[in-house]
Amino acid sequence: MGCVYSRSCIGEVCTPRDARVKETENARAGAELPVFSPASSDGEDGEIRDQLNQLSLTRDSEVGITRLSRVSSQFLPHDGSRTVKIPSGNYELQVSFLSQRGYYPDALDKANQDSFCIHTPFGTNPDDNFFGVFDGHGEFGAQCSQFVKQKLCENLLRNSRFHMDAIEACHAAFLATNSQLHADSLDDSMSGTTAITVLVRGRTIYVANSGDSRAVIAERKGKEIVAVDLSIDQTPFRADELERVKLCGARVLTLDQIEGLKNPDVQCWGTEEGDDGDPPRLWVPNGMYPGTAFTRSIGDSIAETIGVVANPEIVVLELTPDHPFFVLASDGVFEFLSSQTVVDMVAKFKDPRDACAAIVAESYRLWLQYETRTDDITVIVVHINGLTDVRACFALSIVFYLIYIVLHMIICLLFIYFL
């Protein structure tokens, strides 16, 4: 079962509809972006072995990995944000984050199962910068998210294709990390983590997603700032994902259907924007587990038998001066806040630290307004400062060059005339 890597495009990015919130039309008005996703195959084990074998150890990658072990992803300067320069693009990224442990009345000491990483630079190339949010779940969710946070970065840096083909390297790193988690002593049978990552390489960003956390970029359209989703939530609400997991043997039912409160033979859910708090979940054919509300993750070895795979969907985008910032966040943010609402909130603040605080506070408030608990909430905000339009600069240089040629010809003609 499962899927292996391919570079075929499966569709276009559309705005995933949020649970209990309705997206504005602006959030659907962004640019159409290709999504790269693995195709189905029965040869996953052999492919994963090949991908693990290709993780060649190079000097640069080992230097980068050594640096990862020294850098604490939980550290930022006292002012709350970090500014890094992107040499090839001649612009800066200003980064901040915040992670808030959830409130669980029946488990007040429950650990924050979210984790995140900020590596600036990523490896040894100052043009490469990496950001990730990992939302753990299950009994060992916190350990799974920490494991994946470390191993995914290492596998990506060690991949022999990392500098040449970031798409292929990201696919391989996700699958290799999933295989390593299965092989580890850590019990991932009913635990795992989602993963949303962004690799910034010069002016290009590569967004890899497995699960229902999300990346969103802001785009200026006239006087408005519009949210463009860089990932599509992988849940049974998506028709393509629903069909895929059913073909893998999953029963897709809500909790009310499982408990006999609704007819299990009739699909009782529509879209996420109209969800009544009883979303569709995945179950093994003859049991009442695992009950995941997402269709992809890293770990979850039992759920993997019914189609919950680690294969990421990848979106590639060229940054322009019309992209002022982007956001990565766990679904603790997007449960009650739409992508457009998050972008509107970030746009109000000059410092990403203040934007992070506002988003987490509002998410926490809404959780307690509608529920008796809160989820873990994690957000990374990255401002993009000083980016210029390469095409405009090139066009301007052509104009100046033509003016120079014309002036040179005029001077030559005048010189000949006066001779």
pLDDT tens track for 372-392: 999 999 999 999 999 987 655
The pLDDT of residue 351 is: 93
Q: For the segment 6-18, what is each residue's pLDDT rounded down to a tens digit?
A: 233 333 333 333 3
Ramachandran region, residue 101 (left: φ > 0; alpha: ψ -120 to 50; beta: rest): beta
Sign of the CA dihedral with 353 first, then 358, 361, and 364 last: negative
Give the pLDDT band of residue 29 (cuts 50, 70, 90). very low
Does the pLDDT value for residue 345 go beyond 70? yes
Distance (Å) of CA 197 to CA 129, 133, 134, 214, 389: 11, 6, 9, 9, 25
**Beta carbons of 148 and 213 less than 8 angstroms apart:** no
Interhelix angle for 141-158 vs 166-183, to 10°?
Answer: 140
Beta strand ranges found along 232-331 (DSSP E): 251-253, 281-283, 290-292, 298-299, 313-318, 325-329
Question: Where in the chain are the domains?
Answer: 3-388
Q: Which of 160, 374, 331 is nearest to 233 (CA)?
A: 331
CA angle 259, 265, 267 (to 5 degrees): 90
Question: How many CA atoms lie less than 13 Å away from 290 in the CB half-sphere?
Answer: 24
pLDDT at 21: 55
pLDDT score for 265: 87
Could you count the other beta carbons within 10 Å of the beta carbon of residue 392? 11
Determine which of 68-72, 157-161, 320-324 has the lowest per-residue pLDDT on average: 68-72
Per-residue pLDDT of 240-256, as tens digits, reads 999 999 999 999 999 99
Residue matched to tokens 């934007």? 355
The token pair that represents 311 in the structure block: 């294969």
Q: Which residue has the tokens 């609704």?
A: 262
- Average pLDDT value for the chain: 85
211 vs 233: CA distance, rounded Å: 6
Rounded Cα gap, residues 212 and 248, in angstroms: 20
Q: Range with the lowest mean pLDDT among 13-22, 83-92, 248-257?
A: 13-22
Under the banding of pLDDT at 50, 70 and 90, the label for residue 274 is: low
Q: Could you give the CA distance from residue 326 to residue 227 in angstroms, rounded to a whole number?
A: 9
pLDDT of residue 394: 54
Tell whether the model's pLDDT for residue 4 goes beyond 50: no
Question: Given a cut of 60, is residue 406 above it in pLDDT?
Answer: yes
Confidence (pLDDT) at 401: 66
Q: What average pLDDT does this structure show over 95-112?
A: 93
The predicted structure's pLDDT at residue 277? 79
pLDDT at 135: 98
| Residue 49 clears pLDDT 70, i.e. is over it | no
Segment 265-293 mean pLDDT: 87
Report whether CATH 1.10.3720.10 matches the domain 3-388: no
Note whether 376 and 135 are within 8 A (CB): yes
As a whole-number percent, the residues of the chain with pLDDT over 70 amount to: 79
Lowest mean pLDDT among 26-30, 184-188, 336-340, 390-394: 26-30
